[in-house]
Amino acid sequence: MKEKWLSTLQDLFLFTCHSKDAFSKHLKYLFMKCKNPLSRIMLKLLTEEGVPDTVQIETLRSLSHICSQLDESSTLQLLENFPSILVPLSSDNQNIRLAAMSCIEELSPLWSRISKNGKSGVSLHFLGEMLFLIMQQKKMILSDKNILASFFTSLLSSSSESLLVQQAIGKRFNESTKKDILNFMLDHALGLPAHSKLKILSLIKGAGSKLMSSGVESLLNDLLENRRQHYLKDGKLCPKLSQSEVDILCLLLEICTKANSSDEARDFGKFIVEALRLNGAEETTVLEPCMTILRNLSSSIYGSMKPETQELIFRNLLILYRCPNGGIQNSSRDTVLRISLNCSIVEKILDPIVDPNTCSVASAHGKKQKRSVKNQDRNQCDDATQGRENPLLFLSAFLDVLLMKKDIVNRTSLVGPLFKLLRLTFENEEWMLKAHKASSGSSQSVSDFTAHIQQTLLLTLEDICVSIGNDIAHKNVGHKYDLQLLVDHACSSDDVVTSNYAFSLITALVKIVPDEVCARTSDILTTMGKSTVTQLDSQSQRVFEGLISAIIPCWLSRTNDNDTDKLLQIFVEVLPQVAEHRGLSIIQHILRTLGEAESLGSLLFLLFQSLISRQSELSLLNKQWEYEFAVLLSEQYSCTIWLRSLILVLKKIGTSIQDKFKQMQVAMQFVADKLRDPEISYKLQLKEDMHDIQNMVGELMEQVVYHLQLVNSNKKHSLKENIRAVLRTLTKGLPPSTYFNVIKELINHGDSDMKKKALGLLSETVKDLGTGAKLKKKGSVSSIRSSWQQLDEVSLKSYKKLCSSINKLLDDAQEDISSTSLELAAVSALEVLANRFPSHDEVYSKCLKSVCKRICSDNSALSSHCLRATGALVNALGPKALEELPSLMKCVLEKFPAETNKTVDSAIGSSSSVDSLFMSVLLTLEAVVNKLAGFLNPYLTRILQLVVLHPLSFSSSDPKLKLKADVVRKLITEKIPVRLLLQPVLDMYPKSIGLGESSVSVVFEMLGNLVSSMDRASISVYHAKVFGLCLEALDLRHQNLDSIQNIDVVEQNVINVVVTLTMKLTGSTFRLLLIKTIEWSDSNVEGDESAPGKSDSRAISFYSLVNKLAESQTSLFVPYFKDLLDGCVRGLDDAGETKTALTQKKKKAKLNDTTTDKDGALSIQVWHRRALILSALHKCFLYDSGSSKLLDYSEFEDLRKALVSQLVVDPPVSLKNHPNVPSVEEVDDSLVACIGQMAVTAGSDLFWKPLNHEVLMQTRSEKIRARVLGLRIVKYLVEKLKEEYLVLLPETIRFLDEVLEDSELPVKSLAQDIVREIETMSGESIRQYL
């Protein structure tokens, strides 16, 4: 009845709470009449789950309101139920927390009142202080719901890590009081609903394992039992756990994993074991407690438990390891890794499995399970693991854990049992079938499970073996390793992965039992050889490489060097059956293990031998698999390795007996291909391994040269070219410093033939480099080629050492044939080097001294090469070569003429040796003149005799000699001062006359070069000498000497000198020299009466000079032509009937020579003279462009008559026999141009009319040539005068009318052209006047 009344009262309270405003008076009445029952109802509402927030707030407010109105008994009851108020105080709703805090503030005065009356009781002595502390934290608690839990953690525990609550709170109470508070809270909480119970337990969980009172343990046990009964059995005897109960279970289990002592850990073990049971359940209620244990179980707690409990926990963890739930599986794996396992626990699980009396994994496990639980409490171990595991999954999980857990104490003791288990899996198929049958529901086949177990076992054993390593203390387990089992089943296993794991284990065993492994090396290598053909995956390759790396060094330590080649031969034989990339990786690793630098050469030699044994004809080598593989393999290594290998290959071939030249052919092609690799140059530029590369290149070149000698002795010409190509390729890729060092080492070789080959190679290489200009012209210069253009400091040092070695070789040479050839090679090399790398270094001075000593050698070839080398060295040294100048000039100027005379006396004409020697002399003189010109004065005459008077210096039989002599002569005139050189050159003229026109021409070429280089002061001093010699030389035509066959060539050179000289003279000086020349040309006419036919010789020479002067001086020469007009008129009129009016002397020229030949035509000389006069006059009229004209009327008339008279003169009959004399066509052109230009220059019809008339009169001549020339002159006048010619047109028309009727077609055609030209010019037809 009372309970019903209380229920009605609760409903009435709740109703009034929902409608507070309407029933406020009623609510107050209730507070007044039913305070005590209402307080109990309110406390109940605060702890129940699902009460609305508004009701809770109103309840707390109401409770605060009636606190002061309660009697002492109700007040004490309210204080005893204080933990119930903590439930809303920890609420997520801040308003509820505020109302709860207000209620606590009301409770505090009540406690003070009760305590003063002495009725608080001993059990609540701490309450007042705790209420005060809570009120102190009011703001923090109201702002954050988690502060209250931190507060109780600080209050109840000895230490707190919270930063939000003061550390001093925990010191307010002693340990006994803290225990009273904890018991007070727990006792009250255990009587509350699950929701409130969870709230209070969460607040005080910071107390840790202190929380686990007997009541709490009983609660935990009940929850686990309910979980087991409802979820893990088929009965469903207990109700389903609520979420709050699950959370309480997880909270208490978490506290169990944080035991503070070993005793507590042992007590809590049964709870942990029970929580780990799943039995395949997937409900959250089952999984969450298990996850709580897995997350929080520590190694220390696990280690503190009883061994039997540890075993049970470990078994459960193994079962969970293969749980279908991914979260459970991952957490169990983390837990296994976290806890520390003792080997004894593992052995207890492993021993029954490998027991030969055990029929299956499942039964073995059952026996083990019974043995492990017989002394345990029945409630803890009953059905702890039995029936929950899949046997194969359990075994698989167990092995995975063994592999994963590397920190198991004394893990090496598991080697024996694990090998027993491995043998079972390999040899006892029935055992695996029974185990698979016991594993119901397994989706994998027996073979898959077997493979997995075998692989895990092998990996675990390998890991244990690796962990043993070099630890001597653990090597006593070596007898437990069943090596034969591994070798047998590595070969026989169908599973590639299993086979690889077996090989990996053998690899690890090499360090532990090397003797046993080496004893079975042949079997292992055989097995490996078979597997390499079929196993092509990357893992198999890594396993193979690891085993090779371990077993081969061990094997080689017990064998000799020859076995290395045998080992390589084994793999060479199987290479054709293996894929290329796989074979490459196999060989690479073998070579790496054996030592690449030593073994690569042996392998290449074996490959070449294999190729030769298959191919009788070595064609298309690069298509053969051995060659392709050798190229591909060598590309995997740096040049420092394959260079050494190439050297080794060539050495092996050199000592080979069979198929030596075939091997050589293959090797040389391979070397040539490899040398195209730019890596050598790149490394040398970066100065990486420079010393080693230089040494290796030197050795390689030495071997190549050695093979070249073998080929030369056996006359293998095609192979010889291949080897020479290799040498060229070898040198092109080297930077200068490296190349110089390599050649130096070869020069210092003991074999003289090797020295000669090295010197020849040096010369050839440097020549091939070419000049910088040529390289630039090609457009692209590689970095190596560019480094040759400008030697750096390192290269210069190497170069100096090389030159010193060559010089030492010359100094140490003996006087015999072999030494002479070596000297010849050394001198040639010095020449090439000096030409390519000019330097003033002292080393060149030493070399020059050594070379000069050999210029006078009796061997002409050596002498010639020494001269060339001397020239190159002088060019390089410059003035520093002055010390050797006397001895050099002595040999050059004395030896060569003697050598020439000896050769010429012994054979008709010059020999090739003399030509070569003379070319060498010229090269040397070129260098000496270019660099030491200021010191050659004592030798000038003899030098000029050599380059001017020697027949080879101007011989046309060898153009190269003449061209080089021209260069030397020109260089002499450029480098040597005029004051020193002029007189020696002038002195050469008398001697040159007897040697012919070429020698004379050479003298005047040099003289012309000298004159062109003279300054004004030198011209004023030396012009008389030069002009006198030229005037003397112009008389050579008149002298008609037998030695001068072609006078025109000489005369042309002389005239060029005069013209060059006159261009540098002043006007007055030039006029004096011109008058002197005129007098000279006329002097023969009066003085040489006893020599008919020679009177025109000087005139021809003179007017040739006048033509050149007119061409060079143009309008400047026109004023001087007045002095020549008289001579021109007389030269054109040979009859003597015309008396000149151009001169005031009334001098009558008496012509003693005949002007015509026997046929009545002009002689050749007269024709030549007149042609030159016509040409000179035409040029004079052409350049007469000044205001004052050259001709007045009388002079014009005299010239007109003389010129027009030439129209009817017949040419010489033998003119075609004189190619140097102007032809008829040339003279006709000159005559037409001369008369026409004279009229144009006159510029007045006063001059034109008589000239036009007289020319037109020639159109009536009986001679066709005269008529054509007359018409050509008329046409010239029409074209040049244009409209001005119209004044002459009336007279011209009459003559044209006649000419148009001419019977000769050329005459008629020319007349028609003139008519058309006139019509075009006048714009009207003149046909009507014809």
Which structure tokens are listed for 458?
Answer: 């092998």
**Phi–psi pair at 1306, nearest 5 degrees:** -60, -40
Pseudo-torsion of CA 534, 538, 543, 546, nearest 10°?
130
Instruction: Output the pLDDT for position 1134.
Output: 59
Residue indicated by tokens 């006893």: 1090
Q: Where are the alpha helices (DSSP H) in 812-951?
A: 817-836, 842-852, 860-877, 885-890, 896-906, 912-932, 940-944
3-state SS, residue 305: coil
List pLDDT tens digits, range 666-702. Answer: 888 888 888 888 887 777 777 777 778 878 887 888 8
Q: Are 940 and 908 in contact (CB under 8 A)?
A: no
Is a pLDDT exceeding 70 seen at residue 375?
no
Q: Are 1002 and 989 in contact (CB under 8 A)?
A: no
Q: Are 589 and 548 in contact (CB under 8 A)?
A: yes
Residue 290 Ramachandran class (φ > 0 left, ψ -120 to 50 alpha, else beta): alpha
Q: Are 826 and 759 in contact (CB under 8 A)?
A: yes
Q: Are 467 and 393 in contact (CB under 8 A)?
A: no
**Helix, strand, coil proportions of the chain in percent (round to 5)?**
80, 0, 20
Which structure tokens are listed for 1004?
Answer: 């005047």
List pLDDT tens digits, range 915-955. Answer: 888 888 888 898 899 988 888 888 889 988 888 888 888 87
Is a pLDDT exceeding 60 seen at residue 877?
yes
* C-alpha–C-alpha distance, residues 905 and 889, integer Å: 24
In the chain, how long is the greatest CA-to-CA distance? 191
List pLDDT tens digits, range 425-474. Answer: 887 777 767 766 655 555 567 777 788 888 888 888 888 888 886 554 45
Instruction: Output the pLDDT for position 160.
Output: 56
* C-alpha–C-alpha distance, residues 89 and 104, integer Å: 9
**Phi–psi pair at 834, nearest 5 degrees:** -65, -40
Instruction: Output the pLDDT for position 1005.
Output: 92
**Phi–psi pair at 876, nearest 5 degrees:** -75, -40
Please, which contacts does 855-862 make with residues 24 or more away whose CB atoms are closer than 8 Å? 855/888, 855/891, 855/892, 855/895, 856/891, 856/895, 859/820, 860/899, 860/913, 860/916, 860/917, 861/824, 861/913, 862/820, 862/823, 862/824, 862/827
Instruction: Output the pLDDT for position 380.
Output: 40
Instruction: Output the pLDDT for position 715.
Output: 65
Is a pLDDT exceeding 60 seen at residue 364?
no
Q: How confident is the model at residue 39 (pLDDT cuts 50, 70, 90)?
A: low
Work out the angle between the directed axes of helices 415-427 and 446-468 (0-180°, nearest 10): 150
Instruction: Output the pLDDT for position 377.
Output: 39
Average pLDDT over the chain reads: 79
Q: Which helix (H) or strand (E) holds 456?
A: helix 446-468
Instruction: Output the pLDDT for position 33.
Output: 54
Work out the angle between the directed axes of helices 214-231 and 284-296 (0-180°, nearest 10): 130
Is a pLDDT exceeding 90 seen at residue 1272?
yes
Instruction: Output the pLDDT for position 381.
Output: 37
The conformation of residue 1300, written as its DSSP 8-state character, comes to T
3-state SS, residue 696: helix
Rg for the chain, CA atoms, rounded: 64
Nearest to 14 by CA among 2, 3, 26: 26
Q: Are 1007 and 967 in contact (CB under 8 A)?
A: no
List pLDDT tens digits, range 41-98. Answer: 777 777 888 788 887 887 888 777 777 666 677 777 777 788 888 888 888 888 888 9
List pLDDT tens digits, range 795-854. Answer: 888 888 888 888 888 888 766 556 788 888 888 988 888 888 887 678 888 888 888 888
3-state SS, residue 233: coil
Residue 261 Ramachandran class (φ > 0 left, ψ -120 to 50 alpha, else beta): beta
Q: How confident is the model at residue 1156 (pLDDT cuts 50, 70, 90)?
A: low
Is a pLDDT exceeding 70 seen at residue 1323?
yes
Is a pLDDT exceeding 80 seen at residue 912?
no
List pLDDT tens digits, range 719-768. Answer: 888 888 888 887 776 778 888 888 888 888 777 888 888 888 888 888 87
* C-alpha–C-alpha distance, residues 323 and 333, integer Å: 11
DSSP 254-287: HHHTT-SSHHHHHHHHHHHHHHT--TT---HHHH
Nearest to 1290 by CA among 1268, 1247, 1260, 1322: 1322
Instruction: Output the pLDDT for position 1058.
Output: 92
Q: Are 1314 and 1296 in contact (CB under 8 A)?
A: yes
* C-alpha–C-alpha distance, residues 1109 and 390, integer Å: 127
Length of the chain: 1330
3-state SS, residue 409: strand
Instruction: Output the pLDDT for position 1108.
Output: 92
Q: How confident is the model at residue 395 (pLDDT cuts 50, 70, 90)?
A: confident
Instruction: Output the pLDDT for position 41.
Output: 75
Instruction: Output the pLDDT for position 571.
Output: 76
Residue type, 1116: L
